[in-house]
Structure 1
Amino acid sequence: MKKSIVSALTTALVVGAASTTFAAANPFSDVPSDHWAYDAVTTLAKDGVIEGYGDTTFKGNQNITRYEMAQMVAKAMAKQDVSAGDKALIEKLAAEFADELNNLGVRVAKLEKNADKVKWGGMLRYDYGSVRYDKAPVDLYINGQKTHDIGALKTRDNSNGYTFRLTPSAEINKNWKLKSRIDAYGDLTKDTAGTLGLKRIWAEGKYGNATYRFGRMPVGIDMDIMFDTQFSGAQAEFGNKALTTTINAGRFNLKSGNQYYLYGLAQNGKADDAANYQAIGFKGWLGKLNYGTAYHHLNSNVFTKMIGYGADNDDMNTWTAKGTYHFSKNIALQGNYGHNFGADDYNTSWSAVIGYKEFENFNATNAGQWGFSIAYRNIGQNVGPTPTYTSDAGTKGWALSLLGNIMPHTYTWLQYAQGKTLIGNENYKELFGRVEWQF
């Protein structure tokens, strides 16, 4: 259809309504002050209804279809804070193109709904670590490579790397979502390109107070003392804030465990990397107390080769208990305990931590947040394969942590730990630093 007065004003209303508002004086290079539509165009531009094509042109002489017109009217209808006069004109145009808008509305609604189904998040993290022993208590393995022998003299192992992570989530229907995590790791010391892999992927369905997950997902129980990692299988979680029950069943890859697990794998020399895994956990709130308890069972021939295990015992049977008491909004005291009934030695872990904004209340979204904690930990290496603590398993001692962020969506974490090894009672120190940018 040829451009008429109605279409010209429609174009003036809605073409390219996407970004910034132009000033009233000569907003478009191709609409001079003596043009018949100059007053309408400049007024609508001043009100923020139109912005033009981005190259300072309005292109008011080109022909457009009714469907294109309806698209522009739809954009104008979505505008906020439109003047009364402009609103009245938009309503007249909406009536003129009602049929096209009806069809367009269905298509736009579907497009927006589909776009909302996929959400992206992620982060870029830089980590520095330095672990120092007067005498290494066990063969040390870094990235699967043996670096020291048992009883080696003073050792110092430094790490200097980055992690880039994407966490897409897609809506399947009103009950089910597909979630995943993609990680890339790189060693800055060696200037490597890094490794990229699909770390986690699982389907998650919610029905009332119950959530079901299938795939490779976070363990979700005892994240700080046992498993800050993932397993493959199924998970059922149900309950409320007062009491939530979580049940896990599947397989756990022991290669993701601490250095003692890597030692057991190396000594085993068999393809038994993935242990059978079952667990049940309970957590909830009692007033100011956030509590949790759980039982974990793993089975693998690797355990028979680990230090502190009997040669005929291929089971891990660990019970844990945890409590965090909140004295105030920001100050809390946390205690953790774990015992592995399947191991003969190094089978107990416990920790006590007092912190300011160290637990639930540190928020990296806003600038100016900070927190700190002082902890004493005794980390038996046969209890937690992958605890959250950066302190190495098989040590006991003090740890001081400081959290802070000087700008939004960015935080830093500094930690210093000092103590003794459980094997040999040798001196142990750790320095750790992290900067993380979140999006």
Structure 2
Amino acid sequence: ADKALIDKLAAEFSDELNNLGVRVSNLERNADKVKWTGEARYTYTSARHEDEKNDNTDKLQFRLYPTAEVNNNWHVNARLTASTYMDKDAGKDSSDKTELTYVYADGQYGNFNVKLGKMPLYSVADDGLVVDDFFSGASVTFGKDLKATLEAGRYDLDRAQDNFHKGSNDKAANYQGAELNYGPNKLRLGASYRHFNSAEFTQAANYRNGSTSDDANIWSVGAGYKFDHNWNLFGAFAQNTEADNYDTAHNIQLSYKGSDIANKGTWGAYAAYRYLGNNTLVLPTYDTAHSHLNEKGWEVGASYVPFTNVYTAVEYFDGKDLATDRDAKTLFGRVSFFF
């Protein structure tokens, strides 16, 4: 409808527009410079820890993703997020509001990419074992088969897992990171280093023995192999060399197939073993252990696309708390509608 209207107006007023110096052939392109996509999702989580009351959440979230073209090399990407909780029929608290989750300029020049602003922070080398969140600053990536990424900026530790925000006035940590990733064929290899500096680390529980440090130095490696179109095996290890306790984490996961929201009927499944020392991980990508770290155990999950652009998933974690050896279980489910 928009294209037809533009064509009609361009044909009717082409002489006038040309006299004003407006190129009619660019009208449609300019109208399409900003594109909107989105997602409406429902998430159910039930965390069940031995000798504790079940922690259940019913969360609705609405996300909008505007993308704006600047020129042939540059785009601006953003996300607006609004949340509410069905069990409360309200936001989590009175401060809940629509949030600008991220906004950044993205420049692509051949095999060189630069991002500026508030952008996703994902540890590609370990497939999200260390962090899957956002930071403010700059990032550059270059290379073809072997890709290098350098990042620097600030990271809000209030977003991190519970052990890393204990109430100091230094919540915005200085951050620097570097990654190397190789994966042109079936074999995939990665290594990363991330440094965070904040007084919050001096207050983290069981972080150091008899001394304090305001640093986190987190190293990680990952390796994966895709056997065919269906089977994929990936493992990762991470360590915070500044911590004395719960200073390692590892994960191994076997995945089968995978769901594609554009193709109705596609599905995937996985089984994984996770060991998540909470002084090593900033905010891992796992849904069943996202809020309850310092755990180890087995996780299984499956996803399915019942209709085009409709995604469903269910996951279950069964393990132990590393500090107390008490049982820790989490049930997770999600339905997403993409548009």
TM-score by length of 2: 0.90
Query: Cα deviation per residue 1:70-109 (whole Å; 9 max; x = unaligned)?
Result: 948949xxxxxxxxxxxxxxxxxxxxx9967977995542
For residue 195 of structure 1, give the secondary structure of its aligned residue in structure 2.
coil
For residue 32 of structure 2, give the secondary structure of its aligned residue in structure 1.
helix
Q: Which has the higher contact order (CA 8 A, sep 6+)?
A: 2
- Percent of pairs identical after alignment? 39
- For the residues of structure 1 that align with 2:185 and 2:263, how far apart are their CA atoms? 28
Distance 1:184 1:172, change over 3 A: same
Greater gyration radius: 1
**Structure with the largest fraction of helix:** 1
Query: Cα deviation per residue 1:195-242 (whole Å; 9 max; x = unaligned)?
Result: 2110101111122211111110011434511111100011111111x1
Match among 109, 112, 117 for residue 215 of structure 1: 117
Deviation at 1:121, TM superposition (A): 1.2
- For the residues of structure 1 that align with 2:14 and 2:27, how far apart are their CA atoms? 19
Q: What's 1:117 paired with?
A: 33
Deviation at 1:154, TM superposition (A): 1.9
Q: Write the letter of the residue equivalent to 2:267.
A: W
Q: Write the letter of the residue equivalent to 1:261.
A: F
**Preserved CA contact (<8 Å) 2:154 2:172:** yes
Query: Cα deviation per residue 1:362-402 (whole Å; 9 max; x = unaligned)?
Result: 31111101000011110111112111112231100000101
* Aligned Cα root-mean-square deviation (Å): 2.5
**Preserved CA contact (<8 Å) 2:37 2:65:** yes
Match among 219, 236, 243 for residue 140 of structure 2: 236
Q: Select between 101-110 and 311-320 the one with higher mean Cα deviation.
A: 101-110
- For the residues of structure 1 that align with 2:10 and 2:326, how far apart are their CA atoms? 75
Query: Cα deviation per residue 1:12-34 (whole Å; 9 max; x = unaligned)?
Result: xxxx9969xxxxxxxxxxxxxxx
- For the residues of structure 2 that align with 1:107 and 1:161, how far apart are their CA atoms? 48
Q: How many aligned residue pairs are there? A: 327
- For the residues of structure 2 that align with 1:363 and 1:261, how far apart are their CA atoms? 35
Query: Cα deviation per residue 1:114-167 (whole Å; 9 max; x = unaligned)?
Result: 112111111011000011111xxxxxxxxxxxxxxxxxx423111111111111
Deviation at 1:295, TM superposition (A): 0.4
Q: Does 1:353 align with 2:269?
A: no
For residue 169 of structure 2, give the secondary structure of its aligned residue in structure 1.
coil
Distance 1:363 1:101, change over 3 A: same
Q: Write the letter of the residue equivalent to 2:295.
A: T
Distance 1:73 1:437, change over 3 A: closer
Q: Write the letter of the residue equivalent to 1:249.
A: A
Q: Does 1:321 align with 2:218?
A: no
Match among 399, 421, 431 for residue 331 of structure 2: 431
Match among 276, 279, 293 for residue 379 of structure 1: 276
Distance 1:112 1:427, change over 3 A: same
Q: Does 1:296 align with 2:194?
A: yes
For residue 255 of structure 1, give the secondary structure of its aligned residue in structure 2.
helix
Match among 238, 254, 258 for residue 338 of structure 1: 238
Q: Write the letter of the residue equivalent to 1:378.
A: Y
Q: What's 1:364 paired with?
A: 261
Deviation at 1:179, TM superposition (A): 1.0
- For the residues of structure 1 that align with 2:55 and 2:245, how far apart are their CA atoms? 26
- For the residues of structure 2 that align with 1:224 and 1:356, how far apart are their CA atoms? 19
- For the residues of structure 1 that align with 2:14 and 2:265, how far apart are their CA atoms? 51
- For the residues of structure 2 that align with 1:187 and 1:98, how far apart are their CA atoms? 52
Q: What's 1:389 paired with?
A: 286
Q: Write the letter of the residue equivalent to 1:257.
A: A
Distance 1:17 1:429, change over 3 A: closer
Q: Write the letter of the residue equivalent to 1:280.
A: A
Distance 1:73 1:397, change over 3 A: closer
Distance 1:17 1:331, change over 3 A: closer
**Preserved CA contact (<8 Å) 1:221 1:246:** no
Q: Where does the alignment leave 5 or more consecutive residues of structure 1 unmatched?
A: 1-15, 20-67, 76-96, 135-152
Q: Write the letter of the residue equivalent to 1:233.
A: G
Q: Write the letter of the residue equivalent to 2:26.
A: K
Q: What's 2:103 paired with?
A: 201
**Structure with the largest fraction of strand:** 2
Query: Cα deviation per residue 1:47-79 (whole Å; 9 max; x = unaligned)?
Result: xxxxxxxxxxxxxxxxxxxxx9x948949xxxx
Query: Cα deviation per residue 1:258-290 (whole Å; 9 max; x = unaligned)?
Result: 12224xx2xxx3211111100000112153112
TM-score by length of 1: 0.70
Q: What's 1:256 paired with?
A: 159
**Preserved CA contact (<8 Å) 1:340 1:348:** yes
Q: Write the letter of the residue equivalent to 2:97.
A: T
- For the residues of structure 2 that align with 1:418 and 1:219, how far apart are their CA atoms? 28
For residue 411 of structure 1, give the secondary structure of its aligned residue in structure 2.
strand
- For the residues of structure 2 that align with 1:72 and 1:394, how far apart are their CA atoms? 62
Distance 1:375 1:73, change over 3 A: closer
- For the residues of structure 2 that align with 1:225 and 1:112, how far apart are their CA atoms? 43
For residue 416 of structure 1, give the secondary structure of its aligned residue in structure 2.
strand
- For the residues of structure 1 that align with 2:3 and 2:300, how far apart are their CA atoms? 53
Q: Does 1:227 align with 2:131?
A: yes
Match among 60, 67, 79 for residue 181 of structure 1: 79
**Preserved CA contact (<8 Å) 1:130 1:156:** yes
Q: Write the letter of the residue equivalent to 2:67.
A: S
Deviation at 1:111, TM superposition (A): 2.0
For residue 121 of structure 1, give the secondary structure of its aligned residue in structure 2.
strand
Q: Write the letter of the residue equivalent to 1:119.
A: K
Q: Where does the alignment leave 5 or more consecutive residues of structure 2 unmatched?
A: none
